[in-house]
């Protein structure tokens, strides 16, 4: 273990740098959630899917969400058992590999696989970093760092689309993920380097002997990894110079039509990869410690994590693959939800009987702990209305021909959000977490109510900025105190998995919220439509037809107004629940003389 505090309990400089690097990693991974917004059409065309078939691109989004959410509890539990730093490094490496696979993707399965790996790596950074804050800071000093982590996470929603736009202006979409690869590797190396530093020299371990210090390089593992990686890249890229060569081109001829991997070059990638796995499992000092990670998976309750992943995956797929214009969940949604229900029942039975369950018994027993999950669910249900429907409202009204201008309307909301997150962190140090959360969500509720009063010309007025900024600040205020309430009422040994559950609750709330609110709004929309006479009864001239389309447009505005009204109710519910359930969370004014550790 590496000490990260000084003898008086203050956080060391190395620990601050470590937390800063982890926060940058969280921000960069969060940006990747939104970076595909502008690149999606080009990504679709690269996989042979036309822009007109937009629904077929859903797996690119849902694959990332599935990796981001479904694996979070398992990663959080591993961070509890084996240290935050190893998990941060491993997640960054998985994120980097996912970025590489996405950049080289040539069809939809390979692209979805890359996005899934990016989701796993990026999502795992969040609970590990939140737990790292709890390790580094005593309860009464966590508010500000938690606010900063929340702020940089939400800042990704602002930076992501802008980052994508800048890259697309000068390069192909694949450059976005090439940059992700480089940043992921650099951050992993920097965090891994900091892990080895000794902050307190007086208690540092004695230096190893010269023989022990020089760890033998696993030449066999390195050769197998290099061979498999180079061959796999060639399979995915298929350089035209090699394909047209008489000699080298034969390596790319598939044994089975339509399968790139069942070819000589494909087997050159697959066979060394399998040999590498076997080598790492049985060699004394392998290049990759697969045995150690397999042991970590078992210790973290792999079966329980698998059941939870199936349950969450069913919910995600049911809602994320639906067309919100016409349905609550997809055509296969009943099967997805049915499978999720069965997995949930099996999970509950497993958690009761397992000796070391994924979520230790009593881990979130205290009221503020499980209350933070409920609050996060409703926060997510309200937040998604802003992220989705503010741009839609802008496109429905003044900016129906200008997608960029419509997106910039949302930026006003998003810029205020990280500011509110930092302010919420400061306020949590002097006010109860329930009060700070309630104030933030009441602000969000008021902002949504004001948005529900917007008409066609509302965005022309500077006054439209008031609800946008107020809403961003409100949601930001609520982020840090919710995390603080959770971490203050759970044991240090479960901070990773508990933080993961809060993130999962918010993401599930977003998926369920957008489907439920859109369904309610559509009912109002069709009710308005039924009162509109047929076009042939109205359009007897150009001016009359213009009036008809204005009626249709107004019905669309009513639909968005209903969504904002529903979001206002969700935000208000979150405020009331936080005020009631967070009363016993001691998140301020507590002294501690415990020296906290981190590492593995």
Total number of residues shown for the chain: 600
Digit-coded pLDDT (tens) for 395-424: 777 777 666 676 678 888 888 888 898 888
In this structure, are residues 22 and 122 in contact, taking their beta carbons and an 8 Å threshold?
A: no
Instruction: Give the 3-state secondary structure of residue 2.
Output: strand
Instruction: Give the 3-state secondary structure of residue 329.
Output: coil
Cα–Cα distance, 348 to 367 (Å, whole number): 20
Model confidence at 260: pLDDT above 90:
no
3 sits in which H/E element: strand 2-3
Cα–Cα distance, 123 to 116 (Å, whole number): 10
Digit-coded pLDDT (tens) for 143-168: 777 777 777 777 776 677 777 777 87
Q: What is the pLDDT of residue 200?
A: 36
Closest of 506, 543, 484 to residue 133, by C-alpha: 484
Give the other-Cβ count within 10 Å of 277's Cβ: 15
Mean pLDDT of 165-194: 86
Cα–Cα distance, 221 to 122 (Å, whole number): 27
Q: What is the pLDDT of residue 43?
A: 81
| Percent of residues, the chain, with pLDDT higher than 90 | 18
Digit-coded pLDDT (tens) for 226-237: 999 999 999 888
Model confidence at 7: pLDDT above 60:
no
What domains can you pick out in the chain, each with its CATH number? 2-202+290-300+358-598 (1.20.1250.20), 217-282 (no CATH)
Model confidence at 214: pLDDT above 60:
no
Cα–Cα distance, 51 to 42 (Å, whole number): 8
Which is more confidently placed, 132 or 103?
103
Confidence of residue 117 (pLDDT cuts 50, 70, 90): very high
Cα–Cα distance, 281 to 287 (Å, whole number): 10
Confidence of residue 197 (pLDDT cuts 50, 70, 90): very low
DSSP-assigned states of every residue in 196-226: T--S-GGGPPPPPPHHHHSPPP-HHHHHHHH
Model confidence at 74: pLDDT above 80:
yes
509 sits in which H/E element: helix 495-530
Residue 396: how many CA atoms within 13 Å on its side-chain side? Answer: 22
Dihedral angle of Cα 176, 180, 183, 186, to the nearest 10 degrees: -140
Mean pLDDT of 275-304: 85
Which is more confidently placed, 216 or 106?
106
597 class by beta-carbon count within 10 Å (0-12 exposed, 13-18 middle, 19+ buried): middle
Q: For strand 597-598 and strand 2-3, is the pairing parallel, antiparallel, or unpaired?
A: antiparallel
Q: What is the pLDDT of residue 11?
A: 55
* Burial state string for 311-321 with b = 16 or more CB within 10 A and e = fewer than 16: bbbbbbbbbbb
Q: What is the pLDDT of residue 289?
A: 81
Mean pLDDT of 327-356: 83
Which is more confidently placed, 331 or 164?
164
Q: What is the pLDDT of residue 521?
A: 67
Q: What is the pLDDT of residue 100?
A: 92
DSSP-assigned states of every residue in 85-98: HHHHHHHHHHHHHH
Digit-coded pLDDT (tens) for 298-330: 888 888 888 888 888 887 777 766 655 555 566
Which is more confidently placed, 490 or 388?
490
Q: What is the pLDDT of residue 144?
A: 74
Model confidence at 3: pLDDT above 60:
no
Average pLDDT, the chain: 79
Instruction: Give the 3-state secondary structure of residue 598.
Output: strand
DSSP-assigned states of every residue in 114-168: HHHHHHHHHHHHHHHHHHHHHHHS-GGG-HHHHHHHHHHHHHHHHHHHHHHHHHH
Mean pLDDT of 128-152: 76
Digit-coded pLDDT (tens) for 513-572: 877 777 776 666 666 555 555 555 555 554 555 554 555 566 667 777 888 999 999 999
Q: What is the pLDDT of residue 224?
A: 92
Confidence of residue 388 (pLDDT cuts 50, 70, 90): confident
Mean pLDDT of 258-271: 88
Confidence of residue 374 (pLDDT cuts 50, 70, 90): very high
Model confidence at 457: pLDDT above 50:
yes
């Amino acid at each position: 273990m590496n000490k990260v505090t000084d003898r008086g309990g203050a956080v060391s400089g190395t620990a601050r740098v470590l937390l800063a690097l982890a926060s940058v990693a969280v921000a960069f991974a969060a940006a990747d959630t939104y970076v595909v917004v502008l690149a999606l059409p080009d990504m679709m065309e690269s996989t042979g899917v036309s822009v007109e078939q937009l629904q077929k691109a859903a797996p690119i989004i849902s694959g990332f969400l599935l990796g981001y959410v479904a694996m979070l509890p398992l990663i959080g539990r591993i961070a509890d058992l084996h240290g935050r730093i190893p998990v941060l490094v491993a997640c960054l490496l998985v994120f980097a590999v996912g970025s590489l696979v996405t950049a080289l993707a040539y069809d939809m399965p390979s692209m979805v696989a890359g996005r899934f790996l990016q989701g796993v790596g990026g999502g795992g950074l969040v609970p590990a970093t939140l737990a790292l804050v709890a390790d580094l800071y005593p309860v009464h000093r966590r508010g500000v760092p938690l606010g900063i982590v929340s702020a940089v996470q939400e800042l990704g929603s602002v930076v992501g689309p802008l980052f994508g736009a800048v890259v697309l202006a000068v390069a192909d979409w694949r450059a976005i993920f090439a940059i992700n690869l480089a940043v992921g590797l650099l951050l992993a190396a920097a965090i891994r380097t900091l892990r080895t530093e000794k902050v307190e020299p007086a208690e540092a371990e004695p230096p190893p002997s010269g023989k022990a210090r020089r760890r033998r390089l696993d030449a066999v593992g390195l050769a197998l990894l290099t061979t498999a990686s180079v061959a796999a890249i060639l399979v995915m890229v298929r350089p035209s110079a090699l394909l047209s060569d008489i000699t080298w081109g034969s390596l790319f001829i598939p044994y089975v039509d339509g399968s790139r991997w069942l070819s000589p070059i494909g087997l050159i990638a697959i066979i060394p990869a399998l040999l590498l796995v076997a080598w790492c499992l049985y060699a004394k000092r392998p290049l990759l410690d697969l045995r150690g990670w397999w042991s970590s998976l078992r210790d973290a309750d792999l079966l329980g994590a698998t059941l939870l992943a199936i349950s969450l995956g069913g919910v995600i797929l049911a809602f994320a693959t639906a067309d919100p214009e016409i349905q609550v969940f997809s055509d296969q949604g009943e099967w997805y939800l049915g499978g999720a229900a069965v997995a949930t029942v099996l999970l509950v039975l497993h958690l009761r009987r397992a000796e070391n369950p994924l979520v230790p018994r009593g881990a979130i027993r205290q009221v503020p702990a499980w209350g933070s999950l409920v609050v996060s669910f409703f926060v997510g249900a309200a937040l998604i209305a802003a992220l989705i429907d503010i741009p839609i409202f802008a496109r429905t009204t003044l900016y129906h021909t200008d997608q960029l201008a419509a997106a910039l309307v949302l930026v006003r909301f998003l810029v205020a959000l990280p500011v509110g997150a930092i302010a919420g962190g400061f306020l949590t140090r002097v006010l109860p977490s329930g009060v700070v959360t309630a104030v933030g969500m009441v602000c969000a509720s008021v902002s949504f109510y004001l948005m529900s009063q917007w008409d066609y010309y509302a965005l022309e007025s500077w006054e439209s900025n008031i609800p946008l900024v107020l809403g961003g600040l409100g949601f930001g205020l609520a982020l840090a105190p919710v995390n603080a309430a959770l971490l203050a009422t759970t044991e240090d040994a479960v901070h990773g998995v508990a933080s993961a559950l809060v993130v999962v609750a918010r993401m599930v709330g977003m998926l369920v919220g957008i489907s439920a609110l859109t369904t309610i709004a559509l009912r109002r929309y069709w009710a308005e439509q039924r009162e509109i006479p047929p076009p042939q009864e109205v359009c007897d001239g150009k001016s009359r037809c213009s009036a008809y389309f204005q009626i249709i447009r107004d019905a669309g505005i009513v639909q968005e107004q209903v969504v904002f009204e529903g979001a206002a109710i969700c935000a208000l519910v979150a405020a009331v629940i936080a005020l009631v359930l967070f009363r016993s969370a001691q998140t301020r004014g507590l002294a501690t003389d415990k020296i906290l550790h981190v590492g593995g």
